Amino acid sequence: MKIQLKNIHFSEQLSQETNAFSANLYINDIKAGAASNHGYGGATGYLPFDDEGMKLIQEAETHCKSLPPGTFTVDGKDYTIDMSLEHYIDNLLNDHLRQKDLQQFRKKVERAGERSIVIGVPDQSFKTLGLKFPVNMLLIHPKGPDILKDILIKRIVPNLKEGEQIMNTNIPGKILQSAGMNATQYVTPSETKPIKKANQKRKGHGL
């Protein structure tokens, strides 16, 4: 059975003991009802829109009860809880929020990579080494690739810890490889991504 949440509205401000949200509940691609939680610690509720929605929700409740129990960890201890439509909806919301956080994290990495070399653990954490000029400007300058290579060799590679990678996707793989890096030390660069030319009106300095 296909159970989805759509048009999700989440409020971090109202989320105290539970996630405060409202959403449309779709079952087998039909808009069956609405789901919500006020964020005060109470259970997530759901209501049908009509008789068809009521029937679909009843079927979804039966389906969820047949699923394996959910698992969670508190203070290092693992617990299980019988699956229900309520818990299934909560899991859908948590997946949505994780994906949203992940997208925001990746956008931060991409923005940081415009003017820095970004080092970190993909989708978890990162730090930056600022550059005097944006990466795209260096890539179109005759000496730029050699400057990037030199920075990688002298300042990045020797300090790269286990599990860390270069997270820039705007630095061509051939530059990373020429600096002595192997495929496990950087994320796959966007080799075919067009390089944006630097703003011609901006006054630059020699490298």
- pLDDT tens-digit readout, 56-71: 999 999 999 999 998 8
128-140 pLDDT, tens digit each: 999 999 999 999 9
Across residues 111-118, what is the average pLDDT?
96
Please state, in angstroms and rounded to a whole number, the distance separating the CA atoms of residues 172 and 145: 9
Of 73 and 190, more confident: 73
What local confidence, expressed as pLDDT, does residue 186 receive?
94
- The mean pLDDT value of the chain amounts to 89
Across residues 150-167, what is the average pLDDT?
94
Is pLDDT at 197 greater than 70 in this prediction? no
Tokens 């509720």, located at residue = 45
Please state, in angstroms and rounded to a whole number, the distance separating the CA atoms of residues 128 and 176: 16
**Lookup: tokens for 77:** 């201890």
SS3 143: coil
What local confidence, expressed as pLDDT, does residue 161 receive?
92
- CB-CB contact of 51 with 67 (8 Å): no
Is pLDDT at 198 greater than 80 in this prediction? no
What local confidence, expressed as pLDDT, does residue 10 receive?
96
Across residues 70-99, what is the average pLDDT?
91
Q: What is the DSSP string of 11-23?
A: ETTT-SSS-EEEE
Above pLDDT 70, what percent of the chain? 91
Is pLDDT at 2 greater than 50 in this prediction? yes
The helix-helix angle for 85-112 and 51-65 (nearest 10°) equals 90
- pTM of this prediction exceeds 0.85: no
- CB-CB contact of 126 with 109 (8 Å): yes
What local confidence, expressed as pLDDT, does residue 190 receive?
56
Is pLDDT at 193 greater than 60 in this prediction? no
Across residues 87-104, what is the average pLDDT?
95
- 74 conformational bin, left if phi > 0, alpha if psi -120 to 50, beta if neither: beta
Is pLDDT at 196 greater than 70 in this prediction? no
